[in-house]
Structures are given as C-alpha cells and as structure tokens.
C-alpha cells in the first residue's frame, strides 16, 4: 500500500484519494473501481496486475517500484511531481485546510493538553473534517529536512 506516499502527496498540496480509505472489501471490485473511477487523476500503484489493467484500459497510471517512502518520493520527483510542504490539504483526510478562528485554536489546544500561550507562537491551519490543527513546529522542520535529504541524494 502507498499510505505514507499519500500523506506526503497531500502535504505537498496534491488532491489525493487513498484506496485504504475507501473500505472496499473485495479485491476484484476494488481493482475495477480504481480502473474506472477518478478519471481525472493519475493512479499510483505497486500492484503489477492493477498497473497492467490500467494500461490496457488507457488509464493514466504510474507503477511505483520502490518500497521506502524516500525512494518513492524520489521516484515521483523524477517524473515531475514536486514535493514541498504547503498547507493546502489535510494529510489525514485530504480536506482543504483554512485559517482557524481563535476559538477553534483554543478548543484544539485544550483537547491536546497544550498551553493556551502556544497560540501566540505559531501560525495555524485547520481541517474542519478531522478537527485537526496544523502548525510549523518541530515536526514541520523535520519534514523539511527529510525532503532536503532526498533532494541531495
């Protein structure tokens, strides 16, 4: 599965559907659904059989050879995908992010057990669907370093 790659694509601003989020239990139905749905999207897969079905159906598809997330990002970068950290989409549900209200920030900070003065230290983005708050903290800096290391390979 390509769950980690999905997260990185969303972090990079790509509108991304992940098959693991679709709850399709039958493999054959899943493949048929993927081949026929989301025609305006590029299908990424590590499944050779699904890849071949897409090719024979004239479906735009990219076969991902790599097993590790760093190599998968490198592979897609070489195909023209740009990986950078933008705050457009929720990394969990793909919903568009927006600037939160003061009350929404405080509500999430309280639920997470973070001090209220935390809100003065960062810029925030908010997912209405997940009720998730994003900010440029240490996790953000680590992601930037990770992408930079991939670029330098």
Q: Read off the pLDDT of residues 53-94 as tens digits, 9 standing for 90 and up.
A: 889 988 888 999 999 999 999 999 999 999 999 999 999 999
pLDDT at 119: 87
- Of 84, 100, 133, the residue that ends a domain is 84
Torsion angle in degrees (nearest 10) through CA of 65, 68, 71, 72:
60
Residues 20 and 65 in one domain: yes
Count other Cβ atoms within 10 Å, centred on residue 9: 23
Number of folded domains in the chain? 2
Residues of the chain with pLDDT under 70: 23-37
5 in Cβ contact with 65 (< 8 Å): no
100 in Cβ contact with 125 (< 8 Å): yes
pTM: 0.86
Residues 76 and 92 in one domain: no
Find the angle CA(69)-CA(11)-CA(137) to the nearest 5 degrees.
100
- Of 57, 84, 111, the residue that ends a domain is 84
Residues 42 and 63 in one domain: yes
pLDDT at 21: 76
What is the spatial distance between Cα 111 and Cα 28, in angstroms, rounded to a whole number? Answer: 41
Structure tokens at 100: 């939160």
Range of the domain at 6: 1-84
């Amino acid at each position: 599965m390509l769950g980690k790659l999905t997260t990185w694509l969303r972090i990079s601003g790509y509108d991304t559907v992940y098959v693991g989020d679709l709850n399709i239990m039958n493999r054959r139905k899943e493949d048929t659904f993927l081949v026929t749905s989301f025609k305006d999207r590029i299908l990424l897969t590590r499944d050779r059989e699904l890849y071949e079905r897409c090719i024979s159906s004239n479906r735009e598809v990219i076969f991902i050879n790599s097993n590790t997330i760093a190599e998968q990002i490198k592979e897609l970068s070489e195909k023209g995908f740009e990986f950078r950290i933008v705050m457009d989409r929720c990394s969990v549900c793909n919903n568009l992010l927006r600037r939160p209200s003061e009350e929404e920030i405080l509500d999430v900070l309280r639920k997470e057990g973070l001090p209220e003065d935390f809100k003065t230290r960062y810029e925030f983005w908010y997912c209405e669907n997940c009720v998730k708050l994003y900010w440029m903290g240490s996790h953000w800096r680590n992601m930037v370093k990770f992408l930079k290391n991939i670029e330098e390979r």
